[in-house]
Amino acid sequence: MQQEIQSNQDIITKEIPWIVFKAGHGVFAISSEIVSSISILSKEITGMPEAPSYVRGLVNLRDGCIPVVDLRSVLNMQTLEEEIRLFESMLEERKQDHQKWASELVRSINQKEPFTLTSDPHQCAFGKWYDSYKTENPMVQFHLKKIDEPHKKLHNMAVRLQDALDIPNEEERMKALDDIQKQLQDEILPIMLRLLDETKQVMGESVREMMLVLDDGQKQGGIAVDEVLRVEHLEPMKDTIKIDEYHQMNFVTGVSRSKEQIILLIDEKKLIELI
């Protein structure tokens, strides 16, 4: 009889779907057994003095407030706030780099000297980052693609400068140099700087975190995640992979595979203990 009850419980467990979501660069899943709702995380979060660092604060839910736990922080990952701040800081630095680059180009034009900085858009700090950076945020993707052509045109000004300096006729040479400086200062550089500023703004505004509300009948609280991908049935894999990187406080208890993705399974009962 006891064996029959256990067998029935196993069947029920297998029939409970998992909620698959992203946090940082990882894909995770949590059993929907104690997930009462899924929603967009409100930006209006009230701080909780002396709360643990992984607790973001309180959000309104129906007629009351619930604490929100940052899953990235729990798993010892860079928080989304930190990621956005570093992204914005990096673009601001690259903006200043190109302002200095343009100033040096103007100096070379005025002094009629060869330009010594890179003319290759792939070799500047921004170009190296741009060629390697990957994001699934469609708004950021769109704005980064808009930067590509102006960025190439900006660096091509250095090639044009060298060509202009080689013009033997002084009057033609001076006109070519004046045209380069005017186009640089009035057109290409302003476009480049504006697009960098817009991309910084879009990164902060386009992020919409989601919240899984956990409720086990005794505790209720929210879990902040980057994005909920889908709800599906998952089978834990018998084979194991290295999960030490995410195995903080024993929250990751296993792995599964779906849609060619390795999915790390979170123990929702241990997670709700943090609330």
> Integer distance in angstroms from the first to the last C-alpha of the chain?
37
CA quadruple 233, 238, 239, 240: dihedral positive or negative?
positive
**pLDDT score for 258:** 86
Q: Tell me the average pLDDT of the chain.
A: 88
Among residues of the chain, what percentage have pLDDT more than 90?
Answer: 63
**pLDDT score for 58:** 93
Mean pLDDT of 113-121: 93
Q: List pLDDT tens digits, range 51-107.
A: 899 999 999 988 789 999 999 999 889 999 899 999 999 999 999 999 999 999 999
Q: Evaluate if residue 264 carries a pLDDT over 70.
A: yes
More confident call, 61 vs 249: 61
Q: Evaluate if residue 150 carries a pLDDT over 60.
A: yes
Among residues of the chain, what percentage have pLDDT more than 70?
Answer: 91
Mean pLDDT of 195-201: 93
Mean pLDDT of 137-162: 93
| Confidence band for 50, pLDDT divided at 50, 70 and 90 | confident
Q: What is the dihedral of CA 187, 191, 193, 197, to 10 degrees?
A: 150
| Confidence band for 1, pLDDT divided at 50, 70 and 90 | very low
Report how far residue 179's alpha carbon sits from residue 273's, in angstroms, rounded to the nearest whole number.
67
| Confidence band for 237, pLDDT divided at 50, 70 and 90 | confident
Report how far residue 41's alpha carbon sits from residue 21's, in angstroms, rounded to the nearest whole number.
14
Residues near 134 by beta carbon (within 8 Å), at least 6 away in sequence: none
More confident call, 22 vs 241: 22
**Domains assigned to the chain:** 2-77+208-272 (2.40.50.180), 80-206 (1.20.120)
Q: Are 140 and 199 in contact (CB under 8 A)?
A: yes
Q: Evaluate if residue 188 carries a pLDDT over 70.
A: yes
Q: Are 237 and 257 in contact (CB under 8 A)?
A: yes
Candidates 243, 82, 58; CA nearest to 267 is 243
Report how far residue 189's alpha carbon sits from residue 184's, in angstroms, rounded to the nearest whole number.
6
| Confidence band for 206, pLDDT divided at 50, 70 and 90 | confident
Q: Evaluate if residue 3 carries a pLDDT over 50.
A: no
